[in-house]
Amino acid sequence: MNKMWGFIFLYILGLNISQATGEDPSTQMHYVKLRIDKNNIGRLNSWLPSNLSNSTWKVDEFQPTTTCKDMAGKRECHCEVDHRWTDKVRQSNSKGCAGNTCTFPEKSHTCVSNSTVTLRGSIRIQGSGFHDCLRDENSQEYQSCNTKLLNKMKEVYSTLKGFDFLNITKYSFGSIVADFGITISKSMSPDDLIQKSENLITALNATLNLETKGVVSLTMPDNPVKYNSQQQLLCTSKEDLGTTAVWRQKKDDEKEYPITNGTEADITFSTRLSTLTLKKISASWEGEYICVFRQKNTSLDITHSARAVMDVALLPNIFITAVPEFPNCLKIGDVLRVRSKCLIREDNENYTVTWTGPTMEGKINPLKADYSSEEVVHQAEAAVTCNPSVPNLKPEITCTFENRLKQSRNASFVFNIIYAGDGFCAADGDWGETKANFTSVLQCKNADGLRQRKCSIECTWEPEEDNCVNNDVSSLLHSAHDVDIGLGSLNKNVADVFDLLSNVTNNTMAINTVSNVKATVEVLHVLSDKQGLRLNGSGVYTSTDNLLSFQGFLETSSNLMEKSLENTWIEKKDDANLSIAETYIHSVEKLMKVSNITANNIQKNIELATCDKKQGSGCTNTAFGVTVDFDSSDNDSVATAGFKELQNYLPQSDEEYEVNSIVVMTTTQKNHSGSVVVKMNFPLIRPRPRNVKIKCVSWDYEKHQWSSRGCEWMGPDDDGHCVCSHLSSFAILMARYPIVLPGMSELTIFGLSISVISLVVTLVIEVIVWRAVVKTSTRYLRHVAQVNISLCLLVADCCFLASFKPENISEIWCKALVMLKHFCYLSMFFWMFCLSSTLLHQAVFLFHKMSKKVYLRFYIILGYACPLLIVLITFIASSGGAEGVYFTKESCWLVYSGFFSGSIHTFIIPVGTIVLINVISMGVVIMKLLDHPTNAGNPDDRSATKSVMRTVILLTPIFGVTWIFGFGVTILDLSSGIAAPVVNYVFILLNSFQGLFILLTTYLGDNLSRQALLNHLRKRASVSDSSTTLDSKLSK
């Protein structure tokens, strides 16, 4: 007899069981195990229903589920049509199941219907009616409470057609929370489930969460799927659920990720169908897929889900190398053994690895692979021949990795052989022998990337190029590229990347290389280019507003500006690529633009301030001391960020200027249609020296440099004040050197040289005419003053010429010359004061006799003692004549630090006072001479009076009146406009030639001096026509 085991479920309809609804009968599934002859199975259809029914219940239908047969101690079972093995059975007996057939060693299992629906739920019951269910499970109270609740639930759910099983799995606190499971062995109406569940909620005063499996089906591509292929997943509901599907993916780490529309995923919806199209299958898309339709109201939440697994046939990224990289042939004809290595990251794919090398010598011998937790190394041995006769035929070896679906990827390595006579670099540490003009490549240890080192054509090692990137940074860079593929929310993915990146960059020692900083900045760059990204300036991520954490972004940006990383921002810049700093500022500005910044935020190296621009008013932000006033015709939110250290990293192509402020970035949420005005006040890093020009600049992303277009400096009265008409990143550039007026140096040297010669001539003339012109006390004192003025000016001008190029003299000589100039120029002005006093006395007291001894003693004290005292006090008070306090090495002159600040004022104040007195004195003299045109008295005195009048009119230089323009030079900065250069030129013209003017006006222009000189020349000159002609011209 051919006997088999049959597992048959009976669909029993209860007629007299109490119902929750009072209308629908309860149902119960029963499974019967029969051992019958295979030929008699067909008779069960007529016999079972009539023989098993009675007055209380009846068999509505029965259906065979599983058929088994005994086979040598094992039992082979297969599922009948429209039935399947449960996932639990397949997982527990994975090796014994193939398709619908499973082989079991002992106890067999039952197949379930393809239309079986399972439910998992959690019901929260209000009130105290079921509190005993929280007692000990062995207590009578628990047993009674559990039975009561179970019966209540069965009364409702047993009326679902195909009801099979219901059990309560756990109780927990929170009012009373009961977790339960239900099995429905037939197709179930979702609307019917909602109705029954609402009945239960009403009866128990509860809220209910349910998850179903079987209402929704998920159609998947056959596993495994091809790498880089396009696949479609279909999620179908048997009925219209009045909602759309939500897709999720579950990874091995048990974390679920929502699937959204992205660069690699596209989701479409219809009434009962949702289609997920994956455009480019990779390892990212491997895992379990979950499709969910959700129906929800106030007290009931039902999710209908389906799950399936996608297995991807992967392909690896391959790094190939060889040992040695450059085989060294000692002689022609040698055969060298080499070993090639192909390295891949460890994954779950079982690759078939093959080695080929048509140009290699002999057979390639694969070696055993070396497995580690992170990578797999496949190796092979081969041989190369030292035969330089065929230079273009280089030995090449290729490793090919083939996955389960016969897809393949390969990598090749070409051996550049060092033949006899070829130049090469000797092995050095990690670097093996390398052929001249070739580059050796090594894989980074415990990091991602490659190390490279070139052997120059001169057979010397060049510096190593380290492109190793911290594994965490490298992983985050890959994650940054994938944030928008559709696996997870874009904003949440970016938030996760920034959160991890801020933790990595907090340890600056871990990223303290050019490659690491470059890779970290690249993360910012990649994220800034993502479409649809929004940052939340409050620093909080919420699923409701779909905004991303801003704090991680700001912390990362600040960490990159750490002082300890300053050397990592210096790189060899390729003209085709942006510098690290420019990539950084561009990325940060774009991320700031998409940020919803609502509060100020201060980091160690970045300060962020925000304000709201209202109609008719501006708004002001302050970041690291930089004040930014923004104004426009539109309402908007304005954010300003200040960056420490960034000014040192951005490329500066203008060698005449250097950055002298921090970089400040100002952005708005909107693109303004009208004009904007951005007023900024920068604290300067280094004080602006006098006559040094400043430029207000913004970063030009097209020209990749600082640009002054659209920005204006407000002048030297407010060094750090800038006004710009656009939004960008701003800074201040300061000239490296003061403004040099064209021809100024040449004019100064020429004028001083003429003055020195003129003053020497003046003193010689004074010696010649002395006896003839000092016949009165007034003339005596006047000529004494003129001689001292000329002498002091001569020494001062010579010192000026000696220190004209300060860079060519030592600091001690510079200090000595400054003191000498300081003293001589002051002494000159004090003697000018003596001269003006003499003239003033002569004009006011016309016939008063002046005592030569008394006045001479007074003049000497005033002319030399006072200046010497001023110089000594200034020297001592200026830290003993310290450089930068008393004098500057750059100009070999006194220090000017601003209005009434600096040692220069010990010169300006006395000189200004004396020039003012001299001008007043000259005015008084002129007025007196005009009031008394004629006077009686000594003829010589009357002649002296006329000479004084002529001197006052003609000898303005001897009073120092021309130095009035020096105050203009001091007050007016050369960067302030056209007036300053004009005043400077006038000052140089008048005062560099001052010695010449003294000669012309004081001596040659004075009748008595001129006549005395001519008389002297006549006595000594020979009588000739030429000398007579000269005397005649000079007498005119």
pLDDT tens digit sequence for 669-690: 777 666 889 999 999 999 888 8
For residue 706, the model assigns a pLDDT of: 94
What token pair was written down for 29?
A: 């599934």
CA distance linking residue 556 with residue 558, whole number of Å = 5
CB contact burial 79-90 (16+ within 10 A = b; e otherwise): bbeebbbeeebe
Peptide bond just before 683 cis, omega within 30 deg? no
Q: pTM higher than 0.75 for the full model? A: yes
Q: Are 931 and 844 in contact (CB under 8 A)?
A: no
For residue 38, the model assigns a pLDDT of: 65
In terms of phi and psi (left: phi > 0; alpha: psi -120 to 50; beta: otherwise), the region of 581 is: alpha
What token pair was written down for 387?
A: 């035969």
For residue 1025, the model assigns a pLDDT of: 46
Tell me the HSE value of 851 on the side-chain side, using a 13 A CA sphere: 5
CA distance linking residue 737 with residue 625, whole number of Å = 26
What token pair was written down for 632?
A: 């426009």
CA distance linking residue 527 with residue 538, whole number of Å = 19
For residue 4, the model assigns a pLDDT of: 53
Q: Are 651 and 581 in contact (CB under 8 A)?
A: yes
Nearest of 473, 470, 568 to residue 526 by alpha carbon = 473
Other Cβ atoms less than 10 A from the Cβ of 283: the count is 15
Q: What percent of the residues of the chain are helix, what percent strand, and what percent coil, each to the nearest 5? A: 35, 30, 35
Q: Are 33 and 67 in contact (CB under 8 A)?
A: no
- DSSP H helices, 398-513, are 471-482, 490-506
SS3 state of residue 545: coil
CA distance linking residue 515 with residue 444, whole number of Å = 12
Nearest of 593, 507, 488 to residue 555 by alpha carbon = 507
Amino acid, single-letter form, for residue 302: I
DSSP for residue 547: B
What token pair was written down for 590?
A: 């774009």
Q: Which residues of the chain have pLDDT under 50?
A: 1-3, 12-22, 538-548, 575, 934-940, 944, 1022-1036
Nearest of 783, 794, 831 to residue 1009 by alpha carbon = 783
DSSP for residue 79: E
| Element containing residue 627 per DSSP (H, E) | strand 626-632
- In terms of Cβ atoms closer than 10 Å to its own Cβ (0-12, 13-18, 19+), residue 968 is middle
Nearest of 453, 412, 441 to residue 325 by alpha carbon = 441
Other Cβ atoms less than 10 A from the Cβ of 752: the count is 22
Nearest of 592, 690, 638, 618 to residue 984 by alpha carbon = 690
CA distance linking residue 993 with residue 991, whole number of Å = 5
DSSP for residue 351: -
For residue 19, the model assigns a pLDDT of: 41
What token pair was written down for 943?
A: 């002649």
CA distance linking residue 712 with residue 930, whole number of Å = 54
CA distance linking residue 97 with residue 105, whole number of Å = 12
Nearest of 566, 568, 560, 570 to residue 604 by alpha carbon = 560
SS3 state of residue 733: strand
**Which residues have a Cβ under 8 Å from the Cβ of 153 and sit 6 or more positions away?**
123, 166, 168, 180, 200
CA distance linking residue 696 with residue 716, whole number of Å = 12
SS3 state of residue 344: strand
